[in-house]
């Protein structure tokens, strides 16, 4: 069983932006820098937890690699909860 992100898993939990939407955005819009992923339904503009993951996706796409996030979505959500607790 694949342990990484599936297409319908949310990368940006603040704005409910899925892995599929972000991959489609990368292929369609071909952003020059990772920060342009915010143009995909405001991804990365909320709590900031997903920004390193958006940067990784952009690096993979720019290098012509398969876009993968090798973390279980439940572990990802738990990491975000800890991130939000540390910001409070």
Q: Does a structural domain hold residue 68?
A: yes
Predicted local distance difference test score (pLDDT) of residue 3: 78
Predicted local distance difference test score (pLDDT) of residue 57: 98
Which domain range does residue 21 map to?
10-87
Instruction: Tell me the per-residue pLDDT of 28-44, one tens digit each, with 9 for 90 and over.
Output: 999 999 999 999 999 99
Element (H, E) at 35: none
Q: Does a structural domain hold residue 25?
A: yes
What are the residue ranges in the chain where pLDDT is below 50? 1
The torsion angles phi and psi of 10, rounded to 5 degrees, stand at -85, 125
Task: Convert 73-83 to b/e letters by CB count within 10 Å (16 or more is b).
Answer: beebeeebeee
Contact 12, 43 (CB under 8 A): yes
Considering the entire predicted model, what is its pTM?
Answer: 0.94
Q: Does a structural domain hold residue 64?
A: yes
Contacts of 29 (CB under 8 A, 6+ apart): 36, 39, 40
């Amino acid at each position: 069983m694949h342990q990484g992100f599936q297409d319908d898993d949310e990368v940006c939990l603040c704005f409910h932006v899925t892995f599929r939407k972000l991959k489609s955005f990368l292929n369609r819009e071909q952003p020059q820098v990772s920060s342009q992923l915010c143009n995909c339904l405001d991804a990365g503009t909320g709590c900031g937890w997903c920004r390193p993951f958006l940067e990784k996706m952009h690096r993979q796409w720019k290098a012509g690699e398969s876009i993968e996030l090798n973390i279980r979505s439940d572990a990802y959500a738990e990491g975000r909860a800890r991130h939000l607790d540390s910001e409070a």
